[in-house]
Amino acid sequence: MDNHYDLLIIGGGPSGLTAAIYGGRAKLKTVVINKGSVGGLVNNTREIANWPGIVNISGPDLMATFEKHAKAFGVDFLKDTAVEVDFSKEEKFVRTRKKKDLYAKAVIIACGSEPRFLNIPGEKKFMGNGVAYCATCDAESFEGEDVIVVGSGDQAIEEGMYITKFANKVKVIVLHDEGILDCNKISAEKALCHEGMEFIWNSTIQEIMGHENVECVKVKNLKTGTCSDLPCQGVFMFVGMVPSTRFLDGSGVEMDKRGYIPVNEHMETNIPGVYAVGDNRIKYLRQIVTSAGDGATAAVAAERYISELNDFRTSVMGSEGKVLLLFFDAKDNSSLEFGTLLEAVNNEQSGAYKIVKIDVATKTNLAEKYGVKEVPAVLILDRGLCVKQLECTMDKEDLVGQLISCKTVVNCHPTDS
């Protein structure tokens, strides 16, 4: 069916595109939902000098290579916005603003974050043409030029000092009285005595002006009410970022109070089969290279999850008879010895059961699905439902007796039937 996929990726920035490349290469039917131009905020970066292997490239050009790479592996792209999700079932559901209903075995949330805008005249007009939101990404573009920094928190002051390595002069517009900054004390002390920084106190930015690029800003003094024009070639806005995760409210996906998503080292959220990557997850560094790493990790984890899911459907759900689901650890001798005994006992019973082995070292999802915390462990399943849990003993007669008996063991039903 056209609207059913193996892997669905929400967001077409660096992390989402990298995940798409890995998904397509793994022969997964993959789709990327992206609300705007493919590449996200990176398209607003006119010069990138820290992508490994490429000394200098524009944001749009780099993202075009990502998109071309993904399409070469057969990835579908849908220009739309995810507005509703249901991750409560094994097959995930996503509805778009254009009323397109999509289903997938795994979902990667790569919707990123967006700058908190002041919404002043000229701000959006000059995005990518003098207005920037990331010093690490764009500071080199303003070599020898005059730059305005808006904000006085940790990000504004620390990135402002970074910009001084390239700019001729950095002028920081601050709401507060002279000497008062919102950043940490150490950064404040360094910035206040920094030769490359100048502070404009008790002021706000009213407008960003220019023709094709930024040429000056209008600044208002809050005490006197007077306005003045400051010539500049760049304006860095550091008034905060907002994760684009509002559509996940009520979805069950765990988020912090700001809307960022916590994940583990596999990029897994608290919901099996749902992953979060890039700027919408809790992380230390938000860069193109780290986002790409997130996407690769999530796609590989999703591929393994889908593989487990497919194998389970074929070998267990599709089995006509009862199945022995054996959870073991290939690195644990006691697990291996028990598995050998179980196979021998089953063979003596004329192969009464089909044995499906799950190595918990590489396949964690099924163990979590059935609540298995220790190995070896054996569940007797009938079309995916647990009807009995064995006591994993090396006593052969005891094991034979358990297989013959029909005791029902509670607390071993899957969490998602």
Strands (E), 274-398: 274-276, 323-328, 354-359, 377-382, 385-390
Whole-structure pTM value = 0.75
Confidence of residue 417 (pLDDT cuts 50, 70, 90): very low
Q: What is the mean pLDDT of residues 337-361?
A: 89
> If 0-12 CB within 10 Å is exposed, 13-18 middle and 19+ buried, where does residue 305 land?
buried
**280 within 8 A of 16, measured Cβ to Cβ:** no
> How many angstroms separate the CA atoms of 18 and 296, rounded?
6
Confidence of residue 326 (pLDDT cuts 50, 70, 90): very high
Tens of pLDDT along 182-237? 988 999 999 999 999 999 999 999 999 999 999 999 999 999 999 999 999 999 99
**146 within 8 A of 131, measured Cβ to Cβ:** no
Show the tokens assigned to 222: 């809050």
**254 within 8 A of 287, measured Cβ to Cβ:** no
Q: Which domains does the chain carry?
A: 4-115+241-312 (3.50.50.60), 131-237 (3.50.50.60), 319-404 (3.40.30.10)
CA angle (31 as vertex; 30, 36 as ends), nearest 5: 150
Residue 80: per-residue pLDDT: 96
Show the tokens assigned to 298: 């999530």
> If 0-12 CB within 10 Å is exposed, 13-18 middle and 19+ buried, where does residue 154 land?
middle
> How many angstroms separate the CA atoms of 236 and 247, rounded?
28
**190 within 8 A of 184, measured Cβ to Cβ:** no
> How many angstroms separate the CA atoms of 239 and 315, rounded?
54
End-to-end CA distance of the chain: 23
> How many angstroms separate the CA atoms of 172 and 156, rounded?
8
